[in-house]
Structure 1
Amino acid sequence: MISFLGAQQFLFFLLHTFWEVGRSQVHYSVPEEAKHGTFVGRIAQDLGLEVGELISRLFRVVSKGRRDYLEVNVQNGILFVNSRIDREELCGRSPVCSIHLEVIVDKPLQVFHVEVEIKDINDNPPLFPVKEQKLFIPESRLLDSRFPVEGASDSDIGSNALLSYRLSASDYFILEIKSKNDQKEEVPEHHLILSATDGGKPELTGTVQLLITVLDVNDNAPTFERSEYEVKIMENAAPGTLVIRLNASDADEGTNREILYSFNSLAPPVIKDKFHINADTGEISIQGHLDFEDVNSYEIRVDATDKGTPPMIGHCTVLVEVQDANDNVPNISVTSLSLPVREDAPPGTVIASIRVSDRDSGPNGQVTCSLSSPGPFTLVSTFRNYYSLVLEGSVDRERVPAYELVVTARDGGKPALWTTAGVSVAIEDVNDNAPAFEQPVYTVFVKENNPPGSHIFTVSASDPDAQENALVSYSLVERRVGERPLSSYVSVHSESGKVYALQPLDHEELELLQFQVSARDAGFPPLGSNVSLQVFVLDENDNPPVVLPPHSGSGAAGVAATELVSQSVTAGHVVAKIRAVDADSGYNAWLSYELQPELGVGRSPFRVGLYTGEISLTRALEESDGPRQTLLVLVKDHGEPALSTTATVRVSVVENGQTSKAFSGASGISAKAGMGKEPALVDVNVYLIIAICSVSSLLVLSLLLYVALRCSSPPQASYGPSKPTLVCSSEMGSWSYSQQRRQVCSGEGAAKNDLMAFSPNLPPCPVSGERGQKQNPMFR
């Protein structure tokens, strides 16, 4: 029901539009020969247009195939006579004469039709074909004999062309009146004046002088069966086609009855061009091409002259009516194009005015117009032989940038003739599409310590619009990253979309940088969209291990603490534990410990745990070992290249039960305490290793599940101060742990501390970079 009502409303809208287009017709009349500037009508007011908008809306008047007889003053909207109008020159003897005007205004396009009828005035007098006609009359002609005289013609129409004749006074001749006078003709020559007066106001008159000579010879003139013959012939009749065969008779005998046929000497040249008469048989045939559209009837005056002396002449008139044939193809004229069409143009918008014509008449000249080829367009008849090309639906330049329409005009003849005309309708773009990125989130991996200004990624958005509507510029969506603005870290080139790191990035300071880039077109109003970037800063081995107190040399007086060991301890006793940290992550923070041999010293009783940093005895102490020893421990990470540092441990051997007060304040560790803590330290280390293994196992399972889910679903945008969950492995086969300070920034929030376990046994994670560029993996 909803769709049906919608269709009804749309149909009503179209009908209303077509009515508005079709009813815009105004009719005026003006007499011919009116002077320049003669008022015709207030055309702007009658068409419902605002006079003040005529110039801005490009008001113009088009008269198809006519001179500029009429003009419009765009200042006041008045239609006036611009040049002399001669009705007879414009329309001939057609009973109706009018000038058709197309009034066109733009923004939006509107087409109006105006008819200006040209009224006839009595400005043409009757005209005879010659100034003097000569008649030769034998003296023996009887009373009431008639002698044809060529009449006058008047170019006007109606009552202005209604002619009446009168003859000057004569004792022997009257005009169209039979005389009862039986007297004989004695005057051999008569001079008469024939006048023709029209019915106009004022009346106009034409005259001709008649010179009548009385002959004393042959007394019977040839006569035709009828004084007037009517013949119909098709305009496409071939040359040589018989029109009529005339037959005249003469009552005389001998040569006086022999007749010759000819066209009247006053016949116009067109008669002799189009027709031929056989002098002996009286047959009239076609000898030229007849065209109904040029001349549709001919009046042929034929003389039949006998061979008497003097010759006698008989007259008749042949009226030839030329019948129309469908020999003219319709003509199509496309004007007033309002192109290109904006893709947001509403239904009912007039695109072009189309005029069709056919020189034929009757059904042969009745033309129907149709539109073919797909597209939301239709033809609306607005006036006689005038159509408007109207938009009836929506258009989308991104889907169809142009339409090639074909207009077909077909007449009503049998067989019908038709012609076609192409109309190319281009669609003008409007800014109706925002720039779009291929994906909503991009993940970028960048090594720390990058050079300032280095290119790290390129964003690219496409806009299906055209010209400036598709011109995309890029900018950062500014926000705070901790205490600093985002623009202090990265920038984006407004035209190319290249993202640059403005300063070296530090993985230990900023592990993840999340921000948005905006793409905006140059249309009006502009449209835009955003894309999120996740920039992971990959760790490099740029931080050496740091030994924590008390063996870092940061104690009192800048020297390492002294460890006290009882002389009676056995092998395996833990003397001290080196604690060191690395600010890096992954393998770069995985530390190992080595005891450096002393020069000139034999086999040392001490060893250090490779990964625990615990210094313990390999054997019982001997007197030869001396009371004091200085141990140098090398702490090294697993980066490439590896970085290292050293820790110095001073060991003082004391006798059983003795307490060294000199070193107790500095080291805080007594021999008794050392002996008591030995099993405790071992237990703590075992528990710590077990806990780390448990947590790492759980983490491995969680990460495997996460990787499986991540590979099966598209990446989603993530915002907020959360830790990244991507965990990758390396080629190493061992594991360690690191407690360090991390920062994960997404433009807001503060830094967080964490304790993370790193598993090298996981497969390497896929790395996404700029357009398929490979990045170094990040290990955790």
Structure 2
Amino acid sequence: MRTQIQRFLLWRALWLLCFAVLWRDTEAQLRYTIPEELKEGSVVGNVAKDLGLDVSEITNRKLRIASESGKQYFSLNLRNGELLVNEVIDRETLCGQSASCVLPVQVIIEDPLQFYRVEVAIQDINDNSPIFLSEINTIEVPELTLIGARFRLEPAQDPDAGTNSLRTYALNKNEHFAMNIKTDKDGTKVPEIVLEKAVDREKQSVHHLILTGIDGGDPARSGTTQISVKILDANDNAPVFEHEIYEVKVMESTAPDTMILIVKAIDLDDGINGEVEYSFAAHTPEIIQNVFAINPVTGELVVSKQLDYETSNSYKIDIRARDKGSLAMEGHCRIQVTVLDVNDNAPEIIITSSPKPVREDAPAGTMVALINVKDLDSGVNGNVTLTMSPGTPFKLKPTFSNHYALVTDSQLDREEFPRYDIELKASDSGSPPLVSSKLITVSILDVNDNPPVFSERVYSVYIKENTAPGSILSSVTASDLDTGENAKIVYSVLDTNTQGVPVSSYVYINSENGSIFSMHSFDYEKMKVFHIIVLAKDHGSPHMSSNATVHVFISDRNDNAPAVIYPSTSMGSVSHQRMPRSAKPGHLVTKVTAVDADSGHNAWLFYRLAEATDASLFSVNLHTGEVRTKRAVSEHDDSSQKLLIEIKDNGEPIQSTTVTVDILIEEGVHETISDYSMTTTENSNKKNGKITLYLIISLGTVSLLSVLTLFTLIVKCVRSSIGSSSCCVSRTDSEYKKPKRNLQIQLNTDGPIKYVEVLGGDMMSQSQSFGSYLSPMSEFSDLTLVKPSSTTNFIYIIFLFYFFYSTDAALTNSIHHFQQKGACSPLRETLSSIGQQGTELSANEVQDYTKGSTPSLSRKGLQ
């Protein structure tokens, strides 16, 4: 029983010490006072009302309470905000006899995060009676003891505090002893009995007394113990200490076995009755006996175990000095040991409210977490400073009494830092200072602040014409730096028009992966290129989007057969031609001209004599389609000759067409087409030797010209403010207002350049273009113009190509003649007429036209 009571007192003292350390210098924002022993469910106060919260805000803002002690003594009524008693509170268990007993309660509001401190003061009620640790106490009194001698008794214990604690003692009525109450310096009331009448052992050896302890409650409570007074003979002087109370201060870091004090008691008796032996007084708590030891002979008080200021900062030790007489007498003193604090406890970091994820667009000052720091040391050793790792967009904002709020300090960016690991460091002011740390993690929530970004701003896709519908054209890919729904991308096609038809009728896009499919086949001859604007939109709120342009280029396939332009067969399937019987070898009978709607190699044409009445009389030039006599016409040759000429293209598979020409050989027909004379033949032979050199020079020159021409055209398109750039080109202001005007030159080569296509106007239109078919294998450098254009610039370009490919020196005179005329008007008129008719001219015929002699042109309807 004694051990249990001692442990109870020790636990209560330790609890009071920790409570005082944790709550020192703290000011509560709300304070309630209640008596102890209230029933469960009793109302302490209305927290929500006192904090100015409406009933609706209790749930909406997630009002809750937390206890800073380990036990939850209170609960919160979430319907009306009342603070209720959750468990019966015993003040003596919590605070012992401390004058103040306060239970702290944390009130936390989650949204937005706020923190309040509530203190509940527990008032004492008189629910404990004074008790004595022993039911019977024995006191030995020598019979020679003088009247007035005092004998110390065991004091009663009353767990109540204040007026309800122990107030006085009473002794039952007797003739030898009286009651005396002594108050120590610390306020403890110690009962003593005073000898009022000498005792005689022979008359009565034992006196039985009853000691009653009475508290100050209303009604008062009391407790009793029996006092057995034994009367002894002889030794009539008790040891007396030099001081009734000794005070000593000792550092908590004092090593065990260190002597801290020497007490001394004097006994006036002689001999064995004067020899004093020191010991702890009866009923000394076990905790004191474990921490301290006293030398029975010398009176040295020694620290036998490591002290701990945080466990107990003071000790009251009662020392007894007893002589060795046959009737031993004893004296008492008290040692007050004060333990001085040493900085031996590192600060503690307590996360009161765990960090919540923060939106990346949260403004500066947004609260993230609540943090509390404490140090079990006292004084400067308990002053704690809290810091955090630098380089983060957060800061610590002090609130009150070692409480801090972690708030945002600058703009957040989840894409750069999706989370922050923040190290908190708490350092006290001791010497040397002690430091503790704790790592907390703050996650950043994504906000839709990044639009989708395509891997390429412009995509180029090439597809052959006549490709089956449903073929995949291309795949576009966009990425979004955001996450979750904000990063989910949906692809769509902006419904722009191409040749007056919505582009959505041409293609279909997979909204999930960006794959683009054709919805029907394409015809190169109708459309060479079109544009798709793909929109990528995320699922964020609000949505963010971006677009990319997909250029779809349609490449040609050989799906068109050659079409015969001359000789015209509009009046029938057979063309009739006349020639004189006097024609000599090399006589130009006619010329077959055909065009192919395809482009590039697919448009290269080859002429062949498939059938003839007399194959030995006529030949057809492979590249130009010229029909000439191979020999002189004899009298035996039939006057009616039929030729079947086949025209093939260079595509795969080959497309071909045929034309039938009827030739009537007549006498006396005027030769409208000049024959080859011997002189011409000789000149031609000389020219043939130079053709190879001309072709090599032409290849290099045209390649350079192509680059320069493209560069010039690009500059012209950009610098639309320039009015005119050549003698043969003039533009009005209205032409510069057409932003879709552009120029394309397609050079198709197979060794020497054989085909040049010049496109003008809108890229989606076929209305303005030139196709130049150059036949380097021919004896003449002829220029065939098809697909007429209304743009003057293109005529100039064609003239340049014609100039570089011509092998006729007379063309130089023509150019000189054009320059003398000024503004190059004859060239403009001539080429314009040629373009309108789609007619092929030789260099000689151009020269005749510039000299005013145009018999061949008049026959072709070009004058």
- TM superposition score normalised by structure 2: 0.74
- Cα distance in 1 for partners of 2:41, 2:705 equals 99
Question: After the TM superposition, which residues 537-552 of structure 1 pair with which residues of structure 2 at under 5 Å, given as runs?
Answer: 537-548=554-565, 551-552=568-569
Residue in 2 that maps onto 1:47:
51
State the superposition RMSD in angstroms.
3.4
Instruction: Provide, for residues 306-347 of structure 1, a one-character-per-residue CA deviation record: whole Å limited to 9, x for no partner.
Output: 111221121212222222222211111224224322211221
Tell me by how many angstroms 1:168 deviates. 3.1
Amino acid at match of 1:615: V
Which SS does the other structure have where 1:700 is aligned? helix
Residue in 2 that maps onto 1:486:
503
Residue in 2 that maps onto 1:318:
335
Which ranges in structure 2 are unaligned for 5 or more consecutive residues? 1-25, 182-192, 681-697, 717-737, 777-800, 802-863
Give the alignment partner of residue 278 of structure 1, picking from 295, 307, 314.
295
- Residue pair 1:630, 1:649 contacting (<8 A) in 2 also: yes
Tell me by how many angstroms 1:411 deviates. 1.6
- Cα distance in 2 for partners of 1:708, 1:481 equals 23
- Cα distance in 2 for partners of 1:499, 1:180 equals 117
Amino acid at match of 2:638: G
Which SS does the other structure have where 2:651 is aligned? coil
Is residue 603 of structure 1 aligned with residue 616 of structure 2? yes
Which SS does the other structure have where 1:136 is aligned? strand
Instruction: Provide, for residues 100-127 of structure 1, a one-character-per-residue CA deviation record: whole Å limited to 9, x for no partner.
Output: 2233333433333333233333333333
Question: After the TM superposition, which residues 520-559 of structure 1 pair with which residues of structure 2 at under 5 Å, given as runs?
Answer: 520-548=537-565, 551-552=568-569, 555-556=571-572, 559=573
Give the alignment partner of residue 350 of structure 1, picking from 345, 362, 367.
367
Residue in 1 that maps onto 2:706:
700
Residue in 1 that maps onto 2:475:
458
Which SS does the other structure have where 1:54 is aligned? helix
Give the alignment partner of residue 647 of structure 1, picking from 652, 656, 659.
659
Instruction: Provide, for residues 496-549 of structure 1, a one-character-per-residue CA deviation record: whole Å limited to 9, x for no partner.
Output: 222222333221121001011111223233321110011111112222211237
- Cα distance in 2 for partners of 1:736, 1:360 equals 98
- Residue pair 1:581, 1:738 contacting (<8 A) in 2 also: no
Is residue 122 of structure 1 aligned with residue 137 of structure 2? no
Which SS does the other structure have where 2:364 is aligned? coil
Call closer, same or farther: CA 1:573–1:23 in 2, change over 3 Å: farther
Amino acid at match of 1:603: S
Instruction: Provide, for residues 435-466 of structure 1, a one-character-per-residue CA deviation record: whole Å limited to 9, x for no partner.
Output: 10133222222222334333332211121112
Instruction: Provide, for residues 235-276 of structure 1, a one-character-per-residue CA deviation record: whole Å limited to 9, x for no partner.
Output: 222221113212111111221111211112221222222221
Residue in 2 that maps onto 1:404:
421
- Cα distance in 2 for partners of 1:168, 1:24 equals 49
Residue in 1 that maps onto 2:579:
565
Give the alignment partner of residue 152 of structure 2, picking from 148, 151, 154.
148
Amino acid at match of 1:427: I
Which structure's relative contact order is higher, taking Cα pairs within 8 Å and 6+ residues apart?
A: 1
Tell me by how many angstroms 1:212 deviates. 1.8
Which SS does the other structure have where 1:544 is aligned? coil
- Cα distance in 2 for partners of 1:468, 1:637 equals 57
Q: Which deviates more from structure 2 when the two are superposed, residues 579-588 or residues 608-617?
A: 608-617
Call closer, same or farther: CA 1:181–1:150 in 2, change over 3 Å: closer
Question: After the TM superposition, which residues 680-699 of structure 1 pair with which residues of structure 2 at under 5 Å, given as runs?
Answer: none
Tell me by how many angstroms 1:398 deviates. 0.9
Tell me by how many angstroms 1:140 deviates. 0.8
Give the alignment partner of residue 138 of structure 1, picking from 132, 135, 142.
142
Residue in 1 that maps onto 2:751:
732
- Cα distance in 1 for partners of 2:710, 2:774 equals 11
- Cα distance in 2 for partners of 1:371, 1:634 equals 92
- Cα distance in 2 for partners of 1:739, 1:652 equals 40
- Residue pair 1:509, 1:742 contacting (<8 A) in 2 also: no
Question: Sequence identity, in percent?
Answer: 40
- Cα distance in 2 for partners of 1:727, 1:47 equals 83
- Cα distance in 1 for partners of 2:759, 2:150 equals 139
Residue in 1 that maps onto 2:437:
420
Call closer, same or farther: CA 1:742–1:648 in 2, change over 3 Å: farther
- Residue pair 1:508, 1:741 contacting (<8 A) in 2 also: no
Which SS does the other structure have where 1:548 is aligned? strand
- Residue pair 1:109, 1:349 contacting (<8 A) in 2 also: no
Which SS does the other structure have where 1:588 is aligned? helix
- Residue pair 1:590, 1:737 contacting (<8 A) in 2 also: no
Which SS does the other structure have where 2:550 is aligned? strand
Give the alignment partner of residue 648 of structure 2, picking from 626, 633, 636.
636
Residue in 1 that maps onto 2:689:
none
Tell me by how many angstroms 1:295 deviates. 2.0
Amino acid at match of 1:752: S
Tell me by how many angstroms 1:433 deviates. 0.7
- Residue pair 1:24, 1:47 contacting (<8 A) in 2 also: no
Which ranges in structure 1 are unaligned for 5 or more consecutive residues? 1-21, 657-670, 683-692, 711-718, 762-779
Residue in 2 that maps onto 1:68:
72
Residue in 2 that maps onto 1:79:
83
Question: After the TM superposition, which residues 223-622 of structure 1 pair with which residues of structure 2 at under 5 Å, given as runs?
Answer: 223-482=240-499, 484-548=501-565, 551-552=568-569, 555-556=571-572, 559-568=573-582, 574-596=588-610, 598=612, 601=614, 603-604=616-617, 606-617=618-629, 620-622=632-634
Amino acid at match of 2:410: G
Which SS does the other structure have where 2:577 is aligned? strand
Which SS does the other structure have where 1:163 is aligned? strand
Residue in 2 that maps onto 1:755:
770
Residue in 2 that maps onto 1:769:
none
Q: Which deviates more from structure 2 when the two are superposed, residues 124-133 or residues 199-208?
A: 199-208
Tell me by how many angstroms 1:183 deviates. 6.0
- TM superposition score normalised by structure 1: 0.82
Tell me by how many angstroms 1:742 deviates. 11
Call closer, same or farther: CA 1:726–1:346 in 2, change over 3 Å: farther
Which SS does the other structure have where 1:320 is aligned? strand
Which SS does the other structure have where 1:636 is aligned? strand
Amino acid at match of 1:526: H
- Residue pair 1:470, 1:523 contacting (<8 A) in 2 also: yes
- Residue pair 2:748, 2:756 contacting (<8 A) in 1 also: no
Which SS does the other structure have where 2:504 is aligned? helix
- Cα distance in 2 for partners of 1:460, 1:654 equals 74
Call closer, same or farther: CA 1:573–1:484 in 2, change over 3 Å: same
Call closer, same or farther: CA 1:281–1:484 in 2, change over 3 Å: same
- Cα distance in 2 for partners of 1:338, 1:594 equals 89
Give the alignment partner of residue 33 of structure 1, picking from 31, 37, 51.
37
Is residue 191 of structure 1 aligned with residue 197 of structure 2? no
Instruction: Provide, for residues 149-197 of structure 1, a one-character-per-residue CA deviation record: whole Å limited to 9, x for no partner.
Output: 2222332333333623333333322233898967665654333333333
- Residue pair 1:550, 1:560 contacting (<8 A) in 2 also: no
- Cα distance in 2 for partners of 1:179, 1:60 equals 60
- Residue pair 2:645, 2:658 contacting (<8 A) in 1 also: yes
Amino acid at match of 2:616: R
- Cα distance in 1 for partners of 2:513, 2:545 equals 16
Call closer, same or farther: CA 1:737–1:140 in 2, change over 3 Å: closer
Which SS does the other structure have where 2:441 is aligned? strand
Equivalent pairs counted in the alignment come to 696
- Cα distance in 2 for partners of 1:759, 1:575 equals 22
Which SS does the other structure have where 1:363 is aligned? helix
